[in-house]
A = this chain, B = another copy of it.
Amino acid sequence: MDFELECVSATGDRFAKLAGRHADEFALSPGQQDWDGVFPAENWVRMRRSGLLGACVPEDLGGLGVTSIHDLVVAMTRLGRGDGSTAIGVAMHTTALWYFARLRRGAPGTIDAGLTRGLELFLRACARGRVVACVAISERGTSLGRPRTTATTAPDGYRLDGRKSFCTNSPAATVFLTSVRMPGADGPDQLGFALVPRESPGLRVLQNWDAMGMRGSGSGDVVFEDCAVRAPFIIAGGPVGQLSAAVFSLTLVGALALAGVFLGMAEQAQATVVDQVTRAARAGEAAIQAQVAENEIDLACGRALMQRAAWLLERRLDTGAPDLERAEFNGLMREVQCAATATKRAAIAVVDRALTISGGGGYLNAHALSRHYRDVRAGPFMQPFSALEVGEYIGRVRLGLAPRSDDPGQGN
């Protein structure tokens, strides 16, 4: 694919090539599977075996050792060309691992030896394909910073109660990263994060995902009912209502990795119709050339935005310097949100034009484009920040005002 994004590290390159091979396999799955809404568990079995799921685990712990944010994003574009549902799941899982690996290689002394040991055990398990992580933070009717799921103190740690939705990847997950409202030491409620193994009593994965697209993403609900979590697996991350500093880097990289998946879908859609048009000997039609050109322009935007945003993040996050202040985070996040928003919009536009170019054919379920069309529309719903929120966030930060996500004082 001409002028596709290219990795800058050898480890990244291996990751991207592996992702590309998986994409080819996953794309072979019959279109019908998507329509039936069956979770493609076999995709996950394959990725556990191939080592893809351990891409960001350090080499000394058995992984591929990818640290480059840029290359992580590139790999996501490759994977996104196959099956978008699987790819967004991998993006979330991989970002989590990238985050844990970064924690582990943090400045000595920033985390204690016990936590380091725990992280290493966890990352080794990831490298062996024993771990599939699910990010379970959305809840209906509330914003990200204000979960209604509670963690109440119990003799051996905490008890969780609540219901999470849009838990991509939950059918395959072995561990859930979830957000809770937990009692503060002696102040207001805290926004906490917990790591809950699948086998925990009181945790239930509902296989209730039924959406118009991303049908194989298994993004159903996860219910916690008096679910025990031991103390080391839950941490407080600041006051409820405020985006937590502890996960700044995770949030930045996660938003970019997801956008990469949508760019990959768009690249695939364009490749598909260019191929179709060429085989049908219609490449000479002016109306088709015009649409193909607009798609190239949008793809060029998406690629450039991903490359530059990743470069901006790496410049700051890979320095070993102390972690981000809130203001610096908001600056970087603004750029990441600009890049992700524009890329996701571009991806939607590209797939839409591809449908136009395809003639009525792309509207049929037998055509891969009909799946892309439904899948790619999921992008702007993803948080932070969804399409309804992102304009205010970017606008306020640019105008020097505190964004709503900084404000623990607001209602709800």
Contacts and interface: CB of A to CB of B under 8 A. Distances in A.
A28 interface: no
A374 B380 CA distance: 17
Q: How many subunits of this chain does the assembly comprise?
A: 4
Contacts of A360: 138, 165-166, 381, 386
Interface of A is mostly: helix
A139 to B, nearest CB: 11
B370 A211 contact: yes
A274 interface: yes
Contacts of A394: 292-293, 296-297
A360 B164 CA distance: 13
Contacts of A165: 360
A319 to B, nearest CB: 16
A117 interface: no
Nearest to A360: B381
Interface string A351-377: 000011101100111100011011001
User: Which of under 10, 10 to 19, 20 to 34, or 35 or more describes the interface residues of A?
Assistant: 35 or more
A205 interface: no
Contact of A289 (B363, B366, B391): B391
Interface stretch (A98-106, A122-130, A252-260, A396-404): A396-404
Interface in A72-104: none
A146 interface: no
Given A274-B399, A288-B388, A401-B283, A364 B211 contact: yes
Given A286-B392, A363-B378, A304 B339 contact: yes
B364 A292 contact: no
Interface string A281-310: 001111111111110110111011101110
Interface in A111-126: none
A294 B365 contact: no
A115 to B, nearest CB: 34
Interface stretch (A43-51, A175-183, A330-338): A330-338
Contacts of A296: 334, 338, 394-395, 398
A280 B303 CA distance: 37
Given A292-B394, A293-B391, 8 more contacts: A212-B364, A277-B399, A283-B400, A288-B388, A290-B290, A296-B338, A300-B308, A300-B342
Interface of A: 2-3, 138, 141, 165-166, 210-213, 274, 277-278, 280, 283-294, 296-297, 299-301, 303-305, 307-309, 312, 331, 334-335, 338-339, 341-342, 355-357, 359-360, 363-366, 370-371, 373-374, 377-378, 380-381, 386-396, 398-401
